[in-house]
A and B are shown apart, each in its own frame.
Chain A
Amino acid sequence: MKKKLRFFFLAVSLPFASVVLGQHAPEKAGSIEDGKLVLKISLQWSVQQKTILAELYDLDSLLISAIFTNNLSYINDSTDWTAIPGRQGMIFLSKPIGIQTGAPPDRGIFLEVPHEAPLPPPVIYATYGANDFSGKNTFSYREGLACFVLPGYESAKSVFLSGSFNQWSTMQLPMIKTDTGWTACLVLPPGKHMYKYIVDGRWMSDPNNRKRENDGHRGHNSVVFCYNHIFSLDGYERARRVIVAGSFNGWNIRELEMEKTASGWQLPMYLREGTHTYKFIVDRNWITDPANPITRDDGMGNINSVIEIGDTHVFRLRRFANAERVILSGSFNAWNTGELVMERYEDGWRLPYVLAAGNYEYKFIVGGHWITDPANPFTAGSGDRTNSFLAFKPNHVFLLEGFEDAESVIVSGNFNGWSINDYKMVFRDGEWIFPIHLHPGRYSYKFIVDGQWILDPVNPLWENNEFGTGNSVIWID
């Protein structure tokens, strides 16, 4: 009986306790009364609770400090909030909710946007990857031509291929009907791509592709890798399993199993441009690639095979012949100050280095002193923080003709945070230029000619900005 009573008491008091606690939690401080937001605030709240309150209800630090020092006159006189003291160390804060400034909205599209910055372009980068198709001959990739095959669906009226490679266009890439299904071929660069089929207007992922990713809307996108490297190992026919492990996958000893062929083992893979090291594991025995003469010591006595994919940029520094050594350091190697030792070459120094397309900043370290590249006119930053700027395989060049008397011309946009220092354009053959590598997406920009912001005079695409002066717009496909 006693037990029962205690249980009863507990059952009755629990909801009550939660109500009392609930009133004292900043998460539940808000309610609406007569079109006003009312916040019930306890002066006993901890620092953490105050922080939560400030974050949830967008209250500035002055207001928070006024609340918790009980400075109600400041709140009532100097803010748009009204404060009324309550019982038991409570304060009631209220304010009408609505339009703060400007004319009221007539009708708005309500967007949910992270911060106030544009969304970054969809990230479809992968360091490496291999395909996993369940059906044979449902995908092939040869000499840059990717062919997708969807068997069946003979009664469909139309099938489209839509993916990251065509901005998920639902109209651009119809598939061709064959005897056994539908097919489409297109030129694709090596790398990771995502896609779906659209069968008679309805989206579906590739039923023969086991590699897929959540599409964020309760479905899946199929994932395909257009490979740029085939790992192969001749012989070892009696081995039960051969794995390739390397720097690209954190030396994972299980993930990348090679397929048996007539004369050995192979695995077609996509590897991101750059320098990679790897080894084969043949039934638990680690071996270097016997077909690859390039190996490198990892600094701890382990010899690995080395693969370099992509194009080489040769960094050069003329003169400084008396220097003991010259180091190349940049954003491509996390500004490592010892790794890339340059070679002596004719009247100076050189270092060939394989890079992926992109923008890089770098400097040379000559006898302990950091210097910018005297042969490269393009820089980023200003003053002491100036680095040499390299756009490797640029896919866009900002151009401004004329203005030959200008002292400085800068291109500034949402790709560099509208910096007024970057990027300094260089005058060449009657025009100011700045080559750059930009990921696919939409960018807005302007030129700053001797401090004056101007639109790109030859770009017909522009949008309004908050100053009423417009920004030029480019799309990088």
Chain B
Amino acid sequence: MAVMNYIMVFLLLVVSGIPTQHHKNPETLNPDNRNAVTGNGIVNPASDIVFDLRPEANKNSLSFTIPLKRAGKLILMEAVVDGISGNIILDTGSTSLVLNSIYFRHGRQQRSLVAGGVTGNTGVISRSHIEHITISDLLLHNLEADITDLGHIETARNIRVLGFAGLCIFRDFEIVIDLHSSVMELYRLDNRGNRLFEPRQKGVLDIELPVIIESDIVFVDAYINNRKLTFCLDTGAESNVLSIHLPNRVVNTVNITRRANLRGAGAQQVEVLYGIMTDFSIGKLKFDGMNTILTNLNAMNQSYGTRIDGMLGCDFLEKGIFYINMKKKNLGIKLIKEERK
């Protein structure tokens, strides 16, 4: 989808007021599902079939391949959440699973979790227990989800959004995100973080580096003009984001192209600058010409509890294949051909 000429709208998704450690460890697998993977557990094709849970492919499966969909640059996974089917946004910047109150209204209300924020959303966030989430062959059980109103994202994208999920729901897996092929692979890990199943062909990575994992969010060190900076990997951001309060020698490497006031769901506005990064590298890998927006990230830093200098969004993830291992706390990157120098 062409995103030229688009203006950015800073939309809510206020997760931050939510304490980060509240969710249960997702018990991803059902020990009773011991059926072999046959590929034949398929139902008769018809345009209006009811979704079949395909329970044959689960606990025993050591890897899953999940087709991804894109709405704008956002990354979507099709899912069935307690019988309701729709799309879940893969949001690596989120500490929890957050579901849309339009479809999940029966949570326990928690008054302390009021989403204020730029978006003007003043809905009370509640919390709910979810029995099952099915994402392609992957079946997740017993999850806690925060419930908030995500109607503005549906409106902006004209797509049914059940919610968004951070990497917390994939903790037991190495996560391989390949936006070039619109696919995500999950490899089950042992306690030491080694894959229990290795595909025959595993390509050579261009870089593998240690990262910090906090509240299931990946923080990675990068360099701009020789200055070490901390970024979080955030697929909930379509563009990369850089703090405007970084030293001049850092922000001056960005060619500013325009300014805009972005409107959220409500009447509030946030002011951002658009630019192109001319100097950005992770380890030995240089990334040229990445789009970024610059804005005030102070409040976001407070909510993460960690100082971050920026976010690496979908624009960045389109540069290659990303291997995230939260048990080994490392990140591998394999550049797609056209990015490789």
Query: What CA separation (Å) do A165 and B45 show in the bound complex?
Result: 13
Pairwise interchain contact A99-B270, C-beta atoms closer than 8 A: yes
Pairwise interchain contact B13-A31, C-beta atoms closer than 8 A: no
- Given the interface contacts A102-B268, A104-B296, does A111 sit within 8 Å of B8 by beta carbon? yes
- Given the interface contacts A201-B64, A464-B151, does A107 sit within 8 Å of B303 by beta carbon? yes
Query: What CA separation (Å) do A471 and B254 show in the bound complex?
Result: 41
B253-278, CB under 8 A of A: which get 1 and which 0?
01111111101111111111100000
A217 contact set on B, CB distance < 8 A = 1, 70, 179, 182
Which residues of chain A in 101-129 are interfacial with respect to chain B, using CB atoms and an 8 Å cutoff? 101-116, 118-121
Pairwise interchain contact A175-B16, C-beta atoms closer than 8 A: no
A420 contact set on B, CB distance < 8 A = none
Query: What CA separation (Å) do A58 and B64 show in the bound complex?
Result: 47
Pairwise interchain contact B51-A171, C-beta atoms closer than 8 A: yes
The chain B residue sitting closest to A461, CB to CB, is B102
Query: What CA separation (Å) do A171 and B49 show in the bound complex?
Result: 10
Pairwise interchain contact A112-B299, C-beta atoms closer than 8 A: no
B302 contact set on A, CB distance < 8 A = 106
B120 contact set on A, CB distance < 8 A = 102, 466
Query: What CA separation (Å) do A102 and B47 show in the bound complex?
Result: 46
Stretch touching chain B among A32-40, A295-303, A365-373, A375-383? A32-40
- Given the interface contacts A111-B72, A161-B45, does A219 sit within 8 Å of B267 by beta carbon? no
Pairwise interchain contact B236-A97, C-beta atoms closer than 8 A: no
Asked if A15 is at the interface (CB within 8 A of a chain B CB), the reply is: no
Q: Which of B91, B267, B271 contacts A99 (CB 8 A)?
A: B271
Which residues of chain B in 104-156 are interfacial with respect to chain A, using CB atoms and an 8 Å cutoff? 116-123, 134, 136-137, 149, 151-156
Asked if B313 is at the interface (CB within 8 A of a chain A CB), the reply is: yes
A57 contact set on B, CB distance < 8 A = 258-259
A115 contact set on B, CB distance < 8 A = 7
A108 contact set on B, CB distance < 8 A = 10-14, 117-119, 236-237, 264
The chain B residue sitting closest to A175, CB to CB, is B45
Pairwise interchain contact B153-A97, C-beta atoms closer than 8 A: no
Pairwise interchain contact A100-B258, C-beta atoms closer than 8 A: no
Please report the number of residue pairs spanning A and B whose Cβ atoms sit closer than 8 angstroms: 294
Asked if A45 is at the interface (CB within 8 A of a chain B CB), the reply is: no
Residue tally, chain A, CB below 8 Å to B: 84
Pairwise interchain contact B118-A99, C-beta atoms closer than 8 A: yes
Asked if B165 is at the interface (CB within 8 A of a chain A CB), the reply is: no
The chain A residue sitting closest to B64, CB to CB, is A201
A120 contact set on B, CB distance < 8 A = 158
The chain A residue sitting closest to B245, CB to CB, is A35
Pairwise interchain contact A171-B47, C-beta atoms closer than 8 A: no
Which residues of chain B in 235-249 are interfacial with respect to chain A, using CB atoms and an 8 Å cutoff? 236-239, 241, 244-245, 248
A282 contact set on B, CB distance < 8 A = none
Q: Which of A100, A172, A202, A442 contacts B49 (CB 8 A)?
A: A172
Pairwise interchain contact A174-B245, C-beta atoms closer than 8 A: no
Query: What CA separation (Å) do A217 and B65 show in the bound complex?
Result: 19
Pairwise interchain contact A98-B67, C-beta atoms closer than 8 A: no
B31-48, CB under 8 A of A: which get 1 and which 0?
000000111101111110
Stretch touching chain B among A62-70, A181-189, A260-268, A269-277? A181-189
Pairwise interchain contact B65-A110, C-beta atoms closer than 8 A: no
The chain B residue sitting closest to A202, CB to CB, is B183
The chain A residue sitting closest to B45, CB to CB, is A184
Pairwise interchain contact B156-A99, C-beta atoms closer than 8 A: no
Asked if A27 is at the interface (CB within 8 A of a chain B CB), the reply is: yes
B164 contact set on A, CB distance < 8 A = 109
Please give the residue numbers on chain B whose beta carbons come within 8 Å of chain A beta carbons, in ascending order.
Answer: 1-3, 5-17, 37-40, 42-47, 49, 51-52, 64-67, 69-70, 72-74, 78, 80, 85, 89, 91, 93-94, 102-103, 116-123, 134, 136-137, 149, 151-160, 164, 179-183, 185, 236-239, 241, 244-245, 248, 251-252, 254-261, 263-273, 293-296, 298-300, 302-304, 313
A28-B255, A171-B85 provided; 18 other pairs, C-beta below 8 A?
A: A97-B244, A100-B261, A102-B116, A104-B299, A107-B304, A110-B239, A111-B74, A112-B6, A112-B8, A112-B9, A170-B78, A202-B67, A203-B182, A217-B70, A464-B151, A466-B267, A471-B151, A473-B102
Question: Which 3 A-B pairs give the minimum distances between C-beta atoms?
Answer: A201-B65, A463-B151, A106-B16
